[in-house]
Structure 1
Amino acid sequence: MAIEAVIWDFGGVFTTSPFEAFNRFEAERGLPADLIRQVNATDPDTNAWALFERNEIDAGRFDTLFLEESTRLGHPVRGADVLPLLSGALRPRMVEALKACKAAGFKVGCITNNVVSEHSPGQAEGQRMAGAMAQVMPLFDAIIESSKAGVRKPDPRIYLMMCDLLAVQPEACVYLDDLGINCKPAAGLGMQAIKVTGEAQALDDLSRIVGLEFP
């Protein structure tokens, strides 16, 4: 089936990966590398991150639950200390690729796992992320935010919701995400999934699928 739509994750795709910030934080605190990712991967459907991204708890409860979860792994970390690490620098080439796909006639959508308090006024990191999103989000034909939809990746329902919004079949879609766990259900539905490990790699892979050249 011909490709009709390109669907994108936001953080780690249009911005540099928060994992880099996680690792810097861990190194500065003398914590084991990838501790935060380990916390996030433990009980991934019911842990603090999952509840927060589905907007089932507020920032205060997330702070408490994340501390409890990290403490069980032997290294107490407050959730409030982790949230500012989520923002990243915007990747201009990825933004231009989005514009090029749209100009070429592809439908474009964004599925993002996010949290309501991520853009709280007065928080510098949140404001930076909000600024990046303000530049990119108006370009999409459809957007699904986990904190508003009440469902989050990798739940297959969220990908099908996007297909409905764009009026396309999964087999006619390309999906880009920096997490393999989020790419797997997209591929399972028939999408051509691209795991984003870097800007150049992602754009090379996308170019081969959609037949466009990205400067």
Structure 2
Amino acid sequence: MALLRNVIFDMGNVLMTFDGHEFARAFTEDEKDADLLYAALFGRTEWALLDSGTIDHATMLRVAEAHIPERLLPNLYSCFDHWPELSRPLEETNDLARRLHAAGFGVYVLSNASDRIFEQLDHAPARPIIDGVVVSAEERLMKPDPAIFRVLCDRYNLAPEECLFVDDSLDNCRGAGAAGMWTHHFTGDVDALENQIATLSQGGKA
């Protein structure tokens, strides 16, 4: 059995927070207006198209403009420009990533995100030690498609059976499993994640 050598983290709600409702509230003073802002931007199906690289940011903004009252357009523009600045590090997972790197593990990020990902990720304490990043919008592939996990392995010369993928989405974990990786469905329990890493790195079964 191959030993674990690499840990691959999702970004949103694993290394950095992503909460569209929270972001919208930061740019409005009224809860109902925040709901309108969220629905026009983060809550639309087009947001997934942005992450997939199918549409660009200008198109996403035009869609949002068409679905929000005119009086809230200034709020929309501020939110659209600045929401990544409100994405906060999850300190425990960042600390774990740094400790893993110091112990000799490869540390990677694989995220369904637009090409603005580094506006979030660059705030992560673990960013300087990350060995590689694969982003859905750049690859025109999205989790849970196993193909995007194969892209990461091919690009960085990783053996899937030596990788653990960590994501807050169970479907995404299943996609990584189909690509031959170990998986961890992250629910906020960093101790459980660290215990699984310790087991796999010693040749045990997770």
TM-score by length of 1: 0.68
The 1:178–1:67 alpha-carbon spacing in structure 2 relative to 1, beyond 3 Å, is farther
Q: Is 1:205 aligned to residue 192 of structure 2?
A: yes
Q: How far apart, in 1, do the equivalents of 2:32 and 2:129 lie?
A: 37
How many Å apart are 1:66 and its aligned residue?
5.0
Unaligned runs of 5+ in 1: 41-46, 72-77, 120-125
Partner of residue 138, structure 2: 148
Q: How far apart, in 2, do the equivalents of 1:180 and 1:147 lie?
A: 21
Partner of residue 96, structure 1: 95
- Percent identity between the two aligned chains: 24
Q: CA RMSD in A?
A: 3.4
How many residue pairs were aligned? Answer: 187
Q: Is 1:112 aligned to residue 111 of structure 2?
A: yes
The 1:37–1:97 alpha-carbon spacing in structure 2 relative to 1, beyond 3 Å, is farther
- 1:178 counterpart letter in structure 2: D
Unaligned runs of 5+ in 2: 69-75, 200-206
The answer (yes or no) to whether the contact 1:13–1:177 under 8 Å persists in 2 is yes
Q: Which has the larger radius of gyration?
A: 2
How many Å apart are 1:150 and its aligned residue?
2.5
How many Å apart are 1:159 and its aligned residue?
0.7
TM-score by length of 2: 0.71
The 1:182–1:164 alpha-carbon spacing in structure 2 relative to 1, beyond 3 Å, is same
